[in-house]
Amino acid sequence: MSELSRATVSRLPRYLRLIEDSADSRTVSSEALAAAAGVNAANVRRDLSDLGFQGTRGVGYSAPALRDRIRRELGIERRRKVAIIGAGNLGTALARYSGLSKRGFDVVAIYDVDAGRIGQLIGDVKIQDLEEMPSDCSFGCFDMAILAVPASSAQPVTDDLVAAGIASILNFAPIRVTVPDTVAVRQVDLSTELQILSYYG
């Protein structure tokens, strides 16, 4: 089985969202998916074809079957366990975001170094000492991490996560972190986003 292109993978969540947000309809057309994702209908058909997912000519695609297929492809056919590192304003905001649960992700742990925060609850998750993070990760409590720490801590924390066997990292710290090829990373940088916007605005 060949890999999906990066472009295709980046569109799958948009297709999934349309299906999940329109709970009732049995079928969905490439045209509808295209409109929701902001792409061309031929592009959608190509994407789903690459996925090995077949529709019915004259009818469309089975919405529940497509939902399951995309979830399986994305690896969220079972729920994923996520840890949030850093319980400052950003980490707290991310932890409180209830949409995560709806999309297949459970925040199972939150870590911080501040003794004043450790032990407090965010939702129903207790903030733990960051020192417990590596063993929890090694133990398989979670396999995805969201970095919401200061720039200075981002790389050291990343190194600890990698050593503990993390699979994926979403980095909100304002600095790029480096990892081995075995670990998937995405970086969200506020300044970069604003600079790109500034060009177009």
Partner DNA sequence: TAGATTGTTAATCGATTAACAATC
Question: Does residue 195 bind a second copy (CB under 8 A)?
Answer: yes
Q: Could you tell which of a second copy, DNA, none binds residue 94, using a CB distance below 5 to 8 A set by kind?
A: a second copy
Stretch that binds DNA, among 29-37, 72-80, 132-140, 141-149 (CB under 7 A): 29-37
Nearest to 107 by CA among 86, 132, 82, 125: 82
SS3 of 127-177? EEEHHHHHHHHHCCCCCEEEECCCHHHHHHHHHHHHHCCCCEEEECCCCCC
Pick from 79, 74, 62, 60: which is nearest to 10 by CA?
Answer: 74
Cα 99 to Cα 111: distance, rounded to the nearest angstrom: 20
Q: Which of 8, 120 has the CB closer to DNA?
A: 8
Contact partner at residue 57 from DNA, a second copy, none, CB < 5 to 8 Å by partner kind = DNA
Minimum separation from the CB atom of position 56 to a second copy (A):
26
121 CB-near residues (< 8 Å, 6+ apart): 127
Applying CB under 7 A, the site for DNA has a residue count of: 25
Q: Choose from a second copy, DNA, none: what does 120 bind? Cβ within 5-8 Å by kind.
A: none
Does the footprint of a second copy cover residue 160 (CB under 8 A)? Answer: no
Which of 51, 65, 100, 164 is close enough to bind a second copy by CB under 8 A? 100
Q: For residues 185 and 175, is the Cβ–Cβ distance under 8 A?
A: no
Beta-carbon contacts of residue 188 (< 8 Å; ≥ 6 apart): 170, 171, 172
Burial (CB count within 10 angstroms: exposed 0-12, middle 13-18, buried 19+), residue 182: exposed
- Residue 163 binding: pick among DNA, a second copy, none (C-beta 5-8 Å cut-off by kind): none
- Binding interface with DNA (CB under 7 A): 5-8, 29-31, 39-43, 45-46, 48-49, 53-61
Residues that bind a second copy (CB under 8 A): 4, 9-10, 12-14, 16-17, 73-76, 80, 82, 88-90, 92-94, 96-97, 99-100, 102-105, 143-144, 146, 148, 151, 167-170, 174, 183-186, 188, 190-201
